[in-house]
Amino acid sequence: MAENNAPQENVEGTIEKMMQFKPFRHFDSHGHAGLEKAGIADRPGCMDFWCGNSVVARTMMGARAVMGDPNPFAIIETAEQCPPLTPEVFVQSMDQANIEGMCLQCIHGVTDPYPGNPDGWRWYVPNEYVKKTFIDAHPGRFTAVGGVHTRYGVQAALDMVQSAYECGFPGLKFHTATSGYPNQQEMYPVYEKCVELGLHVQFHTGCEELPGTRTKYQSPLYLDDVGMDFPELKILQLHCGIFNNMEMGLWNVMKHENMYTDIVIPMPTLMRFRQYFDMDHIRFLEFFMPDKVFYGTDYPMTLPFYKAMLDNIMLMPISQEFKQKLTGDNFRKFINWQSK
């Protein structure tokens, strides 16, 4: 009977398991640079997030309101009318939410032609811009992945990989919505190069409301080929196929040892419900892939509720251990992040 009287300080009760009793700095695995006001007209596609009467521009009205636009529901058309977003606004939001670092998406993308745009819609956020304006200007707060596509040929795509590598980025991002199927043969030399250089590749899956983007390219189904053909490549399946084929997205991560996913939402006001507020979904992730899922936000798309989103996760009745993995440690490990 003596054992029963032994001190029990190492045994956690329910309350200790659920409460955030230790301060924890989070990591945002997915934010977007490029929408800053300074020089926005020089970065193709970026003004389309704020300007015109489109789904994405209407969604960004909340962010405009937070940044002081007295008439955020007015349709705007010029660079001058864009809100005063700067890298410092990013840092301020991160500080308020106790987020240590953010991984920014540099983007290279050109869509298929569509009526009214025979050359396709172009989205371009250069690696060098993000490195200089965010990473170097705010040490310890940002990292990034470089954009890549094969619309300009295989050699141009390999140059994009080299550029990301030289910038010191941990990986690449392939925006399927603009750039086509992830299992297209032209991309295979890119994946080989990434394995060689130790870079991971992020793939957009799910849905996308940007001009000229096609839903078929974004199905997680086509990522299965890449997982099969490149077992050495570390793959981050962005958005887990939301609104397209989320079950397949979940299956990819369970099937492939080299595949990871996130709970990022490409269109907050329409899509946030499932991934951020659905207990069944979060519990599924906790049960089947606790080490392979990342918290991310698509900031500044989520600027108006940046802290509230995270608070919601931290208040969910899931284990403290999983909360810390999900909102920080899993992604830090994935990119080998060294805290400053």
Shortest Cβ 296–Zn ion spacing (Å): 8
Assess contact for 177 and 217: CB atoms under 8 A: yes
Distance in Å, CB of 118 to Zn ion, minimum = 26
Residue nearest to Zn ion (CB): 298
Choose between 28 and 298: whose C-beta lies nearer to Zn ion.
298
| Cα–Cα distance for residue pair 147/153, rounded to 1 Å | 14
SS3 102: strand
Nearer to Zn ion, 164 or 318 (CB): 164
Query: Minimum Å distance from CB 123 to Zn ion?
Result: 11
* 100 vs 298, beta carbon nearer Zn ion: 298
Strands 142-147 and 200-204: unpaired
Comparing CB distances to Zn ion, the nearer of 192 and 209 is 209
Residues in Cβ contact with 189 at an 8 Å cutoff, skipping those fewer than 6 apart = 154, 157, 158
Question: With 0-12 CB in 10 A as exposed, 13-18 as middle and 19+ as buried, what is 44?
Answer: middle
CB closer to Zn ion out of 237 and 318: 237
Nearest to Zn ion of 213, 318 (CB atom): 213
CB closer to Zn ion out of 206 and 328: 206
Of the candidate spans 137-145, 206-214, 225-233, 291-299, the one that interacts with Zn ion by CB under 5 A turns out to be 291-299
Q: Which residue in the set 298, 309, 318, 325 belongs to the binding site for Zn ion (CB under 5 A)?
A: 298
Question: DSSP letters along 185-203, please?
Answer: GGGHHHHHHHHHHT-EEEE
Q: Give alpha helix (H) positions in the chain.
A: 14-18, 55-59, 61-66, 87-96, 127-130, 154-166, 176-179, 188-197, 223-229, 246-255, 268-277, 279-288, 306-315, 320-324, 330-335
Distant-in-sequence, close-in-space partners of 65: CB < 8 Å, separation ≥ 6? 72, 304
The CB-of-105 to Zn ion minimum distance in angstroms stands at 6
CA distance linking residue 69 with residue 65, whole number of Å:
5
Total interface residues for Zn ion by CB under 5 A: 1
Of 59-67, 228-236, 283-291, 296-304, the segment contacting Zn ion by CB under 5 A is 296-304
Span near Zn ion by CB under 5 A; candidates 122-130, 159-167, 249-257, 295-303: 295-303
Nearest distance, CB of residue 204 and Zn ion, angstroms: 7
208 touches Zn ion by CB under 5 A: no
> Where on the chain is the footprint of Zn ion (CB under 5 A)?
298
